[in-house]
């Protein structure tokens, strides 16, 4: 009895090409307003680079053997993957689900709820790809990337975005209201932004905090991968970082769909 309850959270969803119909809907909305959508992605990294990289960076000793601005540049790209996908599948998905009743409208067609949720998550991953690629482009203009492996970052950003979208969708499935997204935002996303080896090397943290950052913070692994690709420091530990995503993503993807079904199909 007990095992079957747990199993009910991990039923493999039945998905078809119709997932892309949902993705296309979100993409259509995005393309209508793309000019406005691009502004934050362009302005924010420049502010951080100038303020922290050039400004603060003058006082900070090199981190992991890299000049400070070179150290933080890839972290800004990784953070944009996290923010764009997480917020897409929390606030934006919640608005579509709860206020706009968009999901209700779609499931009255041959598309299933499972496909709606999967489509939303794929769109969240796409937002990660779009936004982080813009950030990547902007930062590359500063000449901070010394390896052409940085061209592998866009496909990586889709994978990273997929995980953050799936985690976000789990929160969306259980949140009582839109204000409650403050909890994951301030207790999960913000700590990650600061403590995932983004603005200083993770080795400066106490050991316990290092363990937390490595075990529970996806951003730690995203930053490690992104940084390695921008400076061309390839090593076997990157495979560990990558496997972290390959293992957790299907877990949260499937969990989020089942949680959503429990929320919306009574």
Site stretch for another protein (CB under 8 A), options 81-89, 105-113, 169-177, 200-208: 105-113
Q: Quote the least distance from Cβ 2 to another protein, whole Å.
A: 21
User: Where in 170-209 is the site for another protein (CB under 8 A)?
Assistant: none
Q: Is 105 in the site for another protein (CB under 8 A)?
A: yes
User: Where in 21-60 is the site for another protein (CB under 8 A)?
Assistant: 21, 24-25, 28-29, 32
Q: Quote the least distance from Cβ 261 to another protein, whole Å.
A: 10
Per the listing, tokens 């089942």 go with 258
Size of residue set near another protein by CB under 8 A: 21
User: Where in 115-154 is the site for another protein (CB under 8 A)?
Assistant: none
Taking the least distance from each CB to another protein, the nearer of 17 and 59 is 17
- Applying CB under 8 A, among 106, 121, 129, 169 the residue interacting with another protein is 106
Q: Which residues bind another protein (CB under 8 A)?
A: 18, 21, 24-25, 28-29, 32, 100-102, 104-112, 265-266
């Amino acid at each position: 009895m007990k095992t079957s309850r747990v199993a009910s959270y991990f039923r493999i969803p039945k998905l078809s090409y119709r997932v892309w119909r949902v993705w296309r809907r979100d993409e259509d909305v995005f393309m209508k307003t793309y000019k406005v959508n691009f502004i934050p992605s362009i302005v924010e990294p420049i502010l951080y680079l100038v303020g922290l990289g050039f400004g603060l960076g003058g006082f900070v000793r090199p981190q992991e053997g890299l000049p400070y601005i070179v150290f933080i540049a890839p972290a800004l790209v990784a953070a944009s993957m996290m923010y764009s996908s997480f917020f897409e599948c929390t606030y934006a998905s919640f608005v579509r689900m709860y206020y706009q009743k968009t999901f209700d409208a779609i499931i009255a067609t041959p598309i299933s709820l499972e496909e709606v949720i999967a489509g939303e998550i794929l769109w969240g991953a796409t937002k990660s790809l779009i936004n982080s690629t813009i950030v990547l482009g902007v930062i590359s203009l500063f000449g901070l990337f010394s390896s052409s492996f940085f061209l592998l970052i866009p496909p990586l950003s889709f994978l990273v975005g997929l995980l953050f979208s799936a985690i976000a969708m789990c929160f969306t499935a259980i949140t009582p209201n839109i204000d409650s997204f403050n909890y994951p935002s301030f207790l999960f996303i913000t700590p990650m932004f600061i403590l995932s080896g983004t603005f200083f090397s993770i080795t400066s943290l106490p050991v316990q905090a290092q363990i937390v950052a490595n075990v529970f913070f996806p951003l730690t692994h995203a930053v490690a991968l992104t940084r390695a690709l921008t400076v061309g420091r390839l090593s076997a530990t990157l495979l560990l970082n990558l496997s972290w995503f390959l293992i957790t993503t299907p877990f949260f993807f499937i969990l989020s769909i089942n949680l959503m079904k429990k929320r919306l199909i009574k």
